[in-house]
Chain A
Amino acid sequence: MTATQRLVRWIGAGVASGAVLFQITRASSVPLPNRDAGLARLRLSWSARPERIEVCRALTAEELARREEHMRLRVECNGRFATYGLRVEADGKVLGESVVRGAGLRHDRPLYLLRDFVLAGGFHHVRVSLVRREQTDGDTTAMPARSADADTGIFAGRAEREAVEHARRARAAIPARLVLDTTLAFAPNRVIIVTFNADRRALEVLDSARPSR
């Protein structure tokens, strides 16, 4: 191989190596278009416990006596978790409608919701409703009346604690009817989140991140 041929080969190898390197660096940062770029999104996102619909019954003293001492639960409840109808509308047009229920095979896990709806930028009248599908008679959270006579010794105050716990669970559950009916300004390429505020027990709108804890 002559010196000229060697030089040509060196230059060729250098150019080829440079081109390969440049391709690697370029492929490392290629602008990838987002789906629905230029549009806005309405995102529904929350997790909350579905309501427990149950019928509770206080056991009689005879029934309790038949049980082992550590199995003497004074109130027995039977029931299931509620299902909800979700309906999302924008400017009177239905964007989505579905039945949502708690996660898990027995639907006894919290209800997780994550839905995205694409909207054009601008003002939209949005209506989100989550309504319990099961009809119930009266207060499903009521505890049957029972005597506090047995609540002595280490059981002192048990009835009260049970009532508080029962009420806490009822409060943590999704209310039978949740509705958000409002007009929102959607900026292009922005996301507005509708979520469930467990403290206020209502749907609320977020358009920027909550501060980190």
Chain B
Amino acid sequence: MRLLERGARRALTLADAAATRLYGWPWNPLHQTGPLAVAMLLVLVATGLYLLLVYRVGSPAASIVRLAADPWIGSWMRSLHRYASDLFVVAAALHAFRMFAQARSWGPRTLAWVSGLGVFGAGVVCALTGFVMAWDSFGERLAREGGRLLDALPVFSEPLSRIFAGDQPVPSAFFFVNLFIHIALPLGMAVALWLHVSRVARPVLLPPKPLLWGITGALAVASVVLPAPLGAPADAFVVAQTTPADLTVAWWLSLSERLPAGVVWSAMLAAVLVVLMVPRAVRRPREGPLAPSVVDPRLCTGCNQCPQDCPWDAITMVPREDDRPTLVARVDPALCVSCGICAGSCAPMGIGPPGRTGRDQLAAVRSSLELAGANVRPIVAICCEQAPASDMVELRARGAYVHTVSCVGNLHSSVIELFVRSSAPGVIVFGCPPRDCVNREGPKWLHERVFNDREAELQPRVDRRRVRVATSAPGDLAGSIVTFDAFARDLAALDRPDQSDGSLGDVACEPELSRRAAP
């Protein structure tokens, strides 16, 4: 499974790079697969409410034919409903693939994985019942195959397939039950979605507005220009040469019809078991870089910042066991994903995964500076471990001193200050695209800590002109290099004697900086 995961990671990186080249990282739709699926659910609910008003369980095919013939609202509303369901399935499948490839499917994320599969499965079944509602040749074919598969289970006293045999009209009760399932499943999906995001703080449920409206608008235009065709009304006495089928949802239909029901059920069961077992198959030991965060109660001041910053709601404030009047942070190891964002949020450096607390980071930087034998002269580029290797190679080639961190959210602002005080001309931090951070909120909190005084803020004595926060994404090497070169130019201009003005006066007490600022 790990081999599969690595292969998936490579494929995902290639796809991400291609999409970033096309759209740029802020609008890369592959970074938005989860929110995009939710957005499509909302489109489905909105259009579905209208369709519900015109649908008749007593004459399903006729009501849909009437709807499709209405050129003003009915036709495109139905098409939009259908295309949105297709895009939901595609986006949800890509989202699951992304989580698997980025190893975000195990440990504390297991609940999200399993509930996400539930949302996806319910969505597919809901789409299938929707096709049956239309009761055209495709809907009938789906119903017939579904009946055959269900009849193989010892559930129904009278075989379901007999409903569609043709010797009796299909009863309205069937369409009523089908409609009931079609409406009830989204309610179940809402519950599963709530579970899906229940372990994350501040879940991002929708894509950025331009992307949301852009995609919805494009789907609406496609619905007008290329309305979804409707098959011939179902007729039990006709076996059409071909059936217009939605392969996004029913790609399996042709294969399933050729196999015995037992084989189909076994294959489905095996597939479900395999995906359910993914969290177990890819889990890692919770040690080393994956050990959960720990709190040093002697250092914890009870400031309540780390629970606010934790993207997984893994930290709570509890009463202390000693006689100090403050609260103390407590990490729930079952919820902690070892992202280390708490370490970046803690001014006294009293929390973080072992080896990655603020103190550990400072110690590591100091020792690496000592190894370097002198103060760091080149520009320091601090890169997330997830950053493309090509970016780091290119940055080194341009003379930068590259320092990697597990996540830019884990980076303590004191590390930036240490580099600047060690006579580095400037520090540029390359984070992942904000919507593609594997730890969810690393770039966001880094920016807040460096520029907006969020705890643990970068101290005012550090010249902000010598610090830059940038984004590095696969497929955007040129963007990273342009940003780095611009930063280097700005620093060079800053270090020119004629540019040394009083603006650095507030940091003149710092010996390293005053040395650099001197003519």
Contact = CB atoms under 8 A, between A and B. Distances in A.
A34 B236 contact: no
Given A13-B23, A29-B228, A207-B237, A114 B242 contact: no
A37 B141 CA distance: 13
Interface string A147-173: 000000000000000000000000000
Interface size class of B (residues with CB under 8 A): 35 or more
Nearest to B27: A13
Interface size class of A (residues with CB under 8 A): 35 or more
A24 B83 contact: yes
A9 B478 CA distance: 14
Contacts of A3: none
Nearest to A212: B169
Contacts of A37: 239-242
Interface string A118-133: 0000000000000000
Contacts of A32: 138, 141, 242-245, 247, 253-254
B303 interface: no
Given A27-B86, A191-B239, A35 B257 contact: yes
A144 to B, nearest CB: 32
A33 B241 contact: yes
Contacts of A192: 237
A213 B169 contact: yes
B248 A27 contact: yes
Interface string A84-121: 00000000000000000001100001101010000000
B229 A29 contact: yes
Interface of A: 1, 9, 12-13, 16-17, 21-22, 24-25, 27-39, 41, 43, 45-47, 103-104, 109-110, 112, 114, 189-193, 195, 206-210, 212-213
25 contacts: A21-B222, A22-B222, A24-B83, A24-B248, A25-B228, A27-B86, A27-B247, A29-B245, A30-B246, A34-B141, A34-B240, A34-B242, A34-B243, A35-B258, A43-B165, A45-B162, A45-B165, A114-B165, A189-B238, A191-B237, A193-B166, A193-B167, A195-B167, A206-B167, A213-B169
Going nearest first, the 7 A-B pairs with the smallest beta carbon separation are A45-B165, A31-B242, A32-B245, A195-B167, A29-B244, A25-B226, A37-B241
Interface of B: 21-24, 27, 82-83, 86-87, 90, 138, 141, 157-159, 161-162, 165-169, 218-219, 222, 226, 228-229, 235-248, 253-254, 257-258, 478-479, 482
